[in-house]
Amino acid sequence: MQTTFPQLLLGHARSRPEGAAMREKEYGIWQTTTWAQMAQLVEALACGLHQAGLRRDEHMVVIGANRPRLYATMLAAQSLGAIPVPLYQDAVGGECVFPINNAEVRFCVVEDQEQVDKMLEIRERCPQLSHIYYDDPRGLRNYNQAGLDALGALIEAGQAFSSAQPDFFGTEVAKARPDDVAAMFFTSGTTGNPKGVVHTHHTLIDRAAVGARFDKLTSADEVLAYLPPAWIGQNIFSYAQWLVAGYVVNCPESASTVTIDLKEVGPTYYFAPPRVFEGLLTSVMIRMEDAGAIKRQMFHHFMEVARRVGPDLMDGKAVGLLDRLKYRLGDWLVYGPLRNNLGMSRVRVAYTAGEAIGPDLFSFYRSIGVNLKQLYGSTETAVFVCLQPDHEARADTVGVPCEGVEIKLSDSGEILVKSPGLLKGYYKNEAATAEVLSADGWYHTSDAGFIDASGHLKIIDRVKDVGRLKGGDFDGAMFAPKYVENKLKFFSHIKEAVAFGDQRERVCVMINIDFDAVGNWAERRNLSYAGYTDLAQKPEVYELIRECVEQVNADLSRDELLAGSQISRFLVLHKELDADDGELTRTNKVRRGFIGEKYGVLVDALYGGKAEQYIETQVKFEDGRTGSVSATLQIRDAKTFAPVKAAA
């Protein structure tokens, strides 16, 4: 598709000017922006930014939640040949310094007072940052810093400029070419400074179009944009595919209203990481435990029917007439109301990615009639590398290579990808670009995996993280920490896990409980607690987690390659792992090396045979203050199992 994002926008504005492009919930009411209104807004913003001094090939930072005017700002920058750089709205000021200085950013558009304060705080460290515009003026009336202004004022100035020079905008948009840089996304990075991933209009639009064709997306579809726009997945689903397919993007009022807004919108196309699907299911199960005996019995009865026949019906397989009738009755009494309660009554296609999803969780959604599938990709590949066809969705694979993609495995088992959606390069980092892009066009994903007999890709772990045990009964056995961590996180009571074992005799893990799920479990047993730290160290909670660990060990014992990765010892951490404390990336990936160093005293205690260990940890609160949390952590042994020999 030889075009650019602003050209796609103008195409929609010409062909269906009154059609809904975006909706935003404001003060409890959904406000609609048509394609014609969006084009007018983009033109005004582009003219205003040009008049303010934004030039072709210059970078402009955008920080905030999903808001129509922020999306319009990105389109306006692209209309001028400038390059939008979305940053995470929950990042602290210090995390924004490197991207802003690395990209030599002068212009920044933010959502509200919180983001303005963040930019003003770091301005001394970013001396070239001369223009800061804000969308929401609340709380900013008395701010009078140089270069700070409302987006509304920029729009007014742009409208006046456009009236005086009506041909300017169209001329600028026509200058753009598909191979021009369209956007830059900074990877969260588990080590070192983040890297700016440079994408062109062609790479992003090509992958968006491939995904749209694969799932037959049209202008009739609806999505809910609630994940950070700085994450390329959200950018593809609510920006690139929005402009390619022309569907409606709905922006929730706030993070706290997403669940309610999901039910009101009833999206047809939905994406969420596994933790969101797990959280939705956990809330349903908690409410079901509070229901009356008859309703609870009916729910469990029909869920058993769903587990038995639902996935087969979803996959188009043959199911007996009696089972079909039972399922239809269950759909009327249980599954339909449940989908409605989850906000998924109209979902035609749902995707999850980023982490492995538990088989039980995956099967649950498919069994109640939600077409949940998995995909595989990354920032560097413009997301779409593998997709699962409608009748081939499985929990243990990430799908088949999608249109235009070639996959091969290196000698070390690393997945290599060739695709029209590959990054142009890392910004100002030729060495890092050369590490991941070979001379003949293959991208090194750093993931280890293999293609199974049905042509589906299976992911094992990150190549650099796959290690070996040393000494003991499993000397030389493969150790795949992420694989072990994901198996633990399949349990609703476990939120995060960090596994250690490379070059050691045995595997030990640190665990974060899911505070909501375990808290509800504790309350039903009249187990009192005074917060996360107290609950995490309850003997009853340790027993609950031990059962989960030993179930994982039983599963691992049946895996010929990974039987040695069974967990020998574990502890439950006294605090939740947090991106603000450096323990997770902004996309919630565990920074295992950092955690190993930060909690070295706990690692030593796990491997030193101790039964408990005192620790005090500094934490950062949302308002920027720091404090500390301390506890004496219990350490427990877990039962391991002899490897199960495969049948001859």
Whether 483 and 541 map to the same domain: the answer is: yes
The edge-to-edge listing of strands for the beta sheet with 414-418 is 406-409, 414-418, 443-451, 457-462
Q: Assess if residue 194 is contained within a domain.
A: yes
Q: Assess if residue 445 is contained within a domain.
A: no
Whether 183 and 294 map to the same domain: the answer is: no
Whether 193 and 260 map to the same domain: the answer is: yes
Q: Tell me the residue range of the domain where 597 lies.
A: 466-637
Query: Are 31 and 23 within 8 A, CB to CB?
Result: yes
Among candidate residues 238, 271, 304, the one where a domain is terminated: 271
Query: Are 585 and 189 within 8 A, CB to CB?
Result: yes
Whether pLDDT at 413 is above 90: no
Whether 225 and 292 map to the same domain: the answer is: no
Of the candidate ranges 38-47, 167-176, 508-517, 613-622, the one whose mean pLDDT is the lowest:
613-622
Query: Are 244 and 209 within 8 A, CB to CB?
Result: yes
Mean pLDDT of 80-96: 94
Q: What is the pLDDT of residues 326-381, one digit of tens each?
A: 999 999 999 999 999 899 999 999 999 887 787 888 999 999 999 999 999 999 99
Q: Is the dihedral of CA 1, 76, 58, 193 positive or negative?
A: negative
Helix (H) or strand (E) holding 149: strand 148-150
User: What pLDDT was estimated at residue 498?
Assistant: 96
Among candidate residues 346, 368, 403, the one where a domain is terminated: 346
Whether pLDDT at 647 is above 50: no
Q: Assess if residue 440 is contained within a domain.
A: no
Among candidate residues 301, 325, 346, the one where a domain is terminated: 346
State both tokens at 499: 């596994």
User: What pLDDT was estimated at residue 1?
Assistant: 58
Mean pLDDT of 177-195: 87
User: What pLDDT was estimated at residue 281?
Assistant: 85
State both tokens at 69: 């005017």
Query: Are 393 and 372 within 8 A, CB to CB?
Result: yes
Whether 310 and 218 map to the same domain: the answer is: no
Q: Assess if residue 226 is contained within a domain.
A: yes
| Rounded Cα distance, 294 and 25, in Å | 38
Whether 303 and 235 map to the same domain: the answer is: no
Instruction: Please count the residues of the chain.
Output: 648
Whether pLDDT at 191 is above 70: no
Q: Assess if residue 92 is contained within a domain.
A: yes
Whether pLDDT at 427 is above 60: yes
Of the candidate ranges 29-43, 194-208, 269-283, the one whose mean pLDDT is the lowest:
269-283
Q: Assess if residue 37 is contained within a domain.
A: yes
Query: Are 433 and 424 within 8 A, CB to CB?
Result: no
Distances (CA, A) of 178 to 168, 182, 204, 381: 20, 9, 10, 17
User: What pLDDT was estimated at residue 645?
Assistant: 67
| Rounded Cα distance, 263 and 340, in Å | 7
CATH number reported for the structural domain that contains residue 247 in this entry = 3.40.50.12780
Whether pLDDT at 648 is above 60: no
User: What pLDDT was estimated at residue 631?
Assistant: 93
Q: Assess if residue 55 is contained within a domain.
A: yes
Query: Are 515 and 535 within 8 A, CB to CB?
Result: yes
The distance from CA 83 to its chain's CA centroid, rounded to whole angstroms, is 23
Q: How many domains are there within the chain?
A: 3
Whether 208 and 334 map to the same domain: the answer is: no
Q: What is the pLDDT of residues 434-470, one digit of tens each?
A: 999 999 999 999 998 888 888 999 888 888 888 889 9
What's the mean per-residue pLDDT of the chain?
92
User: What pLDDT was estimated at residue 476?
Assistant: 84
Please report, rounded to a whole number, the percentage of residues in the chain having pLDDT higher than 90. 77
Q: pLDDT class for 24, splitting at 50, 70, 90?
A: very high
Beta bridge partners of 59: 83
Whether 138 and 188 map to the same domain: the answer is: yes
Whether 309 and 258 map to the same domain: the answer is: no
Whether 536 and 611 map to the same domain: the answer is: yes
Whether 203 and 290 map to the same domain: the answer is: no
Beta bridge partners of 459: 449
Q: Assess if residue 391 is contained within a domain.
A: no
Of the candidate ranges 178-182, 235-239, 640-644, the one whose mean pLDDT is the lowest:
640-644
| Rounded Cα distance, 211 and 188, in Å | 24
Parallel/antiparallel/unpaired status of strands 148-150 and 131-134: parallel
User: What pLDDT was estimated at residue 135?
Assistant: 96
Beta bridge partners of 447: 462
Parallel/antiparallel/unpaired status of strands 107-110 and 131-134: parallel
CATH number reported for the structural domain that contains residue 475 in this entry = 3.30.300.30
User: What pLDDT was estimated at residue 471?
Assistant: 85
Cα 354–Cα 497–Cα 303 angle in degrees, nearest 5:
70
Whether 18 and 94 map to the same domain: the answer is: yes
Q: What is the pLDDT of residues 618-646, one digit of tens each?
A: 888 766 678 888 999 999 999 999 988 65
